[in-house]
Structure 1
């Protein structure tokens, strides 16, 4: 009779995923100089109004740009598991003795969990003792399951720049 235990998955904690910035857009906000009111911003800059959060822009500042101060990492993996255990086996050396101290051996044979076996003590000899020694063990294996990626990286901490076109 083959007795097998359930196969349990070994789960190695993966390193935390890199916190990539998929938005790749940056903003630099500057205050106008009090000495130069009404002077347009230098080349490459826009005149904008800053708002915390993701807001709608109003006239005359309709050129809307949303930036994020961080990200919410909701990524992970599905639970790992194992399928049915396959290939497990063991082999023992089974011996019988005529005395009670396992000293006078009558018969000895290899018995495997992979093949049916029915052993009989030779006729006319009383069984005094018996022994079994494990010769080989193959724990078998199971097909892995799970570990699929779940979730996503989402933008967080939005700020809105409403700019003049």
Structure 2
């Protein structure tokens, strides 16, 4: 009795996985600051004598509140503390610093690559008279019996299937945040 042994074909991996990075759309600019402010100046203003302050006229009737929805306030650039009698503090932001993005994408080692071949041996030198054909995978070698007294004349192998395997992806996690910028403080009368 004669036998034929065919080793499992090896999968040649020539390169590692590389991440495909698609440029994501910009994140929506949904700022969490829902309150808006509009500052109104009641008429012309002038510089106060002797310093760089601005003089504003008092409400026409002291003790009378401004029309509905309006307040009498002092405006400050930046985030400041309010003083008496303007203790009702409101901070508004002129813009936002958006540092949101994603962490760098990467791939793990390639795993699970395999191939399957159809291996055949022939009694003649032209690969015409088949003795044995077998499907051999990269995970399973082949060992089979050939007819007694017949010599091997040629052999062939044909790739039937290739599984390139896969790499485990990593990264792509959201990082950064949306932070308020360019604060202004309105100190208003209660």
What TM bracket, shorter-length normalisation? 0.7 to 0.9
The DSSP-based 3-state class of the residue aligned with 1:85 is: strand
What is the TM-score when the length of structure 2 is the normalising length? 0.68
Provide the C-alpha distance between the structure 1 equivalents of 2:104 and 2:181, rounded to a whole number of angstroms.
Answer: 27
**1:24-39 superposed matches below 5 A:** 24-33=34-43, 38-39=59-60
Q: List runs of 5+ in structure 2 lacking aligned partners.
A: 1-9, 45-56
1:152 deviates by 1.1
Note if 1:12 corresponds to 2:33: no
- Cα deviations by residue, 1:1-21 (Å, 9 ceiling, x for unpaired): 233353333333322111111
The DSSP-based 3-state class of the residue aligned with 1:142 is: strand
Provide the C-alpha distance between the structure 2 equivalents of 1:93 and 1:61, rounded to a whole number of angstroms.
Answer: 89
Contact 1:96 1:121 in 2 (8 A): no
- Cα deviations by residue, 1:40-71 (Å, 9 ceiling, x for unpaired): 52122111111222223333323221101121
Provide the C-alpha distance between the structure 1 equivalents of 2:146 and 2:27, rounded to a whole number of angstroms.
Answer: 64
**1:1-165 superposed matches below 5 A:** 1-4=10-13, 5-33=15-43, 38-39=59-60, 40-96=65-121, 98-99=124-125, 108-117=133-142, 125=151, 130-165=155-190
Question: Which of the pair has more CA radius of gyration?
Answer: 2
Contact 2:121 2:152 in 1 (8 A): no
Aligned twin of 2:54: none
1:103 deviates by 6.0
RMSD in angstroms over aligned alpha carbons? 3.0
- Cα deviations by residue, 1:65-86 (Å, 9 ceiling, x for unpaired): 1101121111122222333433
Q: List runs of 5+ in structure 1 lacking aligned partners.
A: none
Aligned twin of 2:7: none
1:149 deviates by 1.7
Provide the C-alpha distance between the structure 2 equivalents of 1:153 and 1:118, rounded to a whole number of angstroms.
Answer: 65
What is the TM-score when the length of structure 1 is the normalising length? 0.76
1:135 deviates by 0.9
